[in-house]
Copies of this chain bind each other. A is one copy, B any other.
Amino acid sequence: MPDETLPQPARDEIELVTVLRALGDPVRLRLLAVYADDQEHNCDQCDLGLEDLHKSTVSHHMRVLRESGVTTTRTSGRNRFVRLRRADLDARFPGLLDSVLGAAER
C-alpha cells in the first residue's frame, strides 16, 4: 500500500487566524516544540512527552495542527509521520514560526 498524505490546506489556503488559534493551546504548543527539529515524528505519546493525555486527545490535537496548515502527515503502513510545514509557513507568514518557536523554547 503506497504512502499517502492526509488532507491539509494548500499553502495559499493557510489562514493566520486559524494558525494562531491552533497554536494558542498548551498541548499543541508542546507538540510544536517537538516538531521544531524538522524531523518526522510518529504519534507515540512517550516520544512526544504527552503520557498524561489519552491517545485520542493527542490524535485530536494533531488533527487541529494538520487542518490549520501547521503540520503535514504522511501515512506509511500503520504508522503516521508528522512534520512541520516550515517552508509553507515561512512563505506565507515570514518570521512567524521562528518567533513562536523561539518564544516557546524560552
Cβ of A103 within 8 Å of any chain B Cβ, yes or no, is yes
* Chain A contact patch, size range: 20 to 34
- Residues of B near A22 (CB, < 8 A) are 24
A94 & B100 in contact (Cβ 8 Å cutoff) = no
Q: How far is the CB of A26 from chain B (nearest CB, A)?
A: 5
Q: Interface segment, A13-21, A51-59, A73-81?
A: A13-21
Q: Kindly identify, within residues 1 to 35 of chain A, every residue whose CB is under 8 Å from any CB belonging to chain B.
A: 16-18, 20-26, 29
Contact with B along A83-105 (1 / 0, CB 8 A): 00000000011111011101110
Chain A interface residues toward B at CB < 8 A: 16-18, 20-26, 29, 92-96, 98-100, 102-104, 106
